[in-house]
């Protein structure tokens, strides 16, 4: 939908009275849904336009109650309105790749502890409406069912929507056949694993470090963008974290992904390992993780990302999408000859 039309719709929401288009600015960063910054009554709000079937509002409400994501202000009429976070994305933080992975693992592990089943039985109410023109009885909420991961079903429409000749199609079909076979070999692991609430898109850019004048032991990072959330094994969330951030596959086993030990760090923490402890709170990340399952989901996640990026490139011809697609497929090229063939056909 046209951005200017969306701005007019935003002005008409019941939570804003006499909001002017001049008080709304488009947020260009990001690759998914239209997003805006709203200046209203001396406050700033983040506004995101959602598809009518989007699960994001439901999961964002669950995450906000756990302090993992920004407080929700309003949900309704296809809009999600939250606090506007002033801070830095983890993707631009001047820290090592290992530290970024550790922080994101800590955040998604908090997601995994959420009782997602309440989303199907509880009608959420939003209580924070300070500064907004919002009577209590006008608060519109949503409880869209959270989907259970079926990664092959996710891939099918992406392949269908991709414009490609027979040569590229054959290479993609051949690659998918191998990855499906690999998935079949971990069936017992998948069936026996605990299913948890997964963020589904643990891109470093989706972790925001909140600017604060006061140091405290509370979490300094929060998660945003839950539109890919699903119910799945923990291994899937970890695999997508590695894939979407272009982490090489050899680090799945060599990097100590699952050794986030809780320490008794307290206030005034200066380094990121202590910040991770603060995010985790009491306890530690003790789940039994299968590296075989992570590896299998990693390969499939790369294919999902490749198809998504390349389809976007075909739709709008933005070179950045093509580069992202190539970067994803390059991660598979070390193990699969089909990936090298696909890369050659893209050039």
Domain ranges in the chain? Answer: 3-86+120-138
Cα–Cα distance, 238 to 240 (Å, whole number): 6
Global pTM?
Answer: 0.86
In sequence order, which ranges of 185-290 are alpha helices (DSSP H)?
A: 187-192, 234-244, 251-254, 272-280
> What would the pLDDT profile of 285-342 be if each residue is shown by its tens digit?
445 789 899 999 999 999 999 999 999 999 988 999 999 999 999 999 999 999 999 9
**Nearby residues of 182 by Cβ (< 8 Å), 6 or more positions away:** 296, 299
> What would the pLDDT profile of 42-75 be if each residue is shown by its tens digit?
899 999 998 888 899 889 988 988 888 988 888 8
CATH 2.40.10.10 given to domain 3-86+120-138: no
Cα 232 versus chain centre, distance? 14
- pLDDT more than 90, % of the chain: 52
| Per-residue confidence (pLDDT) for residue 142, from 0 to 100 | 52
Average pLDDT, the chain: 82
């Amino acid at each position: 939908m046209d951005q200017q039309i969306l701005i007019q719709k935003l002005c008409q929401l019941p939570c804003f009275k006499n909001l002017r288009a001049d008080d709304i600015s488009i947020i260009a960063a990001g690759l998914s849904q239209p997003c805006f910054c709203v200046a209203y009554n001396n406050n700033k709000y983040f506004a995101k336009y959602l598809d009518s079937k989007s699960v994001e509002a439901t999961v964002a409400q669950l995450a906000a109650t756990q302090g993992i994501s920004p407080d929700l202000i309003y949900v309704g009429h296809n809009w999600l309105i939250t606090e506007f976070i002033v801070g830095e994305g983890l993707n631009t933080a001047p820290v090592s790749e290992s530290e970024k992975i550790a922080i994101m693992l800590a955040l998604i592990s908090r997601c995994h502890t959420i009782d997602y089943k309440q989303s199907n039985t509880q009608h959420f109410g939003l209580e924070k409406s300070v500064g907004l023109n919002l009577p209590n009885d006008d608060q519109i909420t949503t409880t869209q069912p959270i989907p259970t991961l079926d990664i092959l079903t996710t891939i099918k429409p992406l392949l269908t929507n991709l414009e490609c000749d027979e040569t590229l199609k054959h290479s993609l079909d051949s690659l998918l056949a191998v990855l499906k076979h690999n998935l079949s070999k971990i069936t017992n692991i998948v069936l026996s694993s605990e299913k948890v609430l997964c963020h589904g898109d643990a891109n470093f850019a989706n972790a925001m470090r909140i600017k604060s004048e006061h140091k405290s032991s509370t979490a300094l990072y929060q998660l945003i963008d839950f539109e890919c959330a699903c119910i799945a094994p923990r291994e899937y969330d970890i695999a997508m974290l590695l894939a979407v951030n272009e982490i090489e596959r050899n680090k799945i086993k060599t990097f100590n992904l699952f050794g986030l030990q809780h320490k008794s760090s307290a206030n005034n923490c200066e380094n990121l390992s202590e910040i991770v402890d603060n995010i985790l709170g009491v306890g530690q990340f003790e789940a039994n993780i299968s590296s075989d399952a992570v590896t299998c989901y990693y390969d499939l996640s790369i294919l999902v990302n490749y198809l998504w990026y390349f389809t976007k490139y075909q739709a709008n011809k933005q070179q950045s999408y093509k580069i992202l697609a190539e970067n994803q497929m390059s991660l598979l090229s070390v193990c699969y000859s089909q990936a090298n063939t696909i890369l050659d056909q893209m050039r």
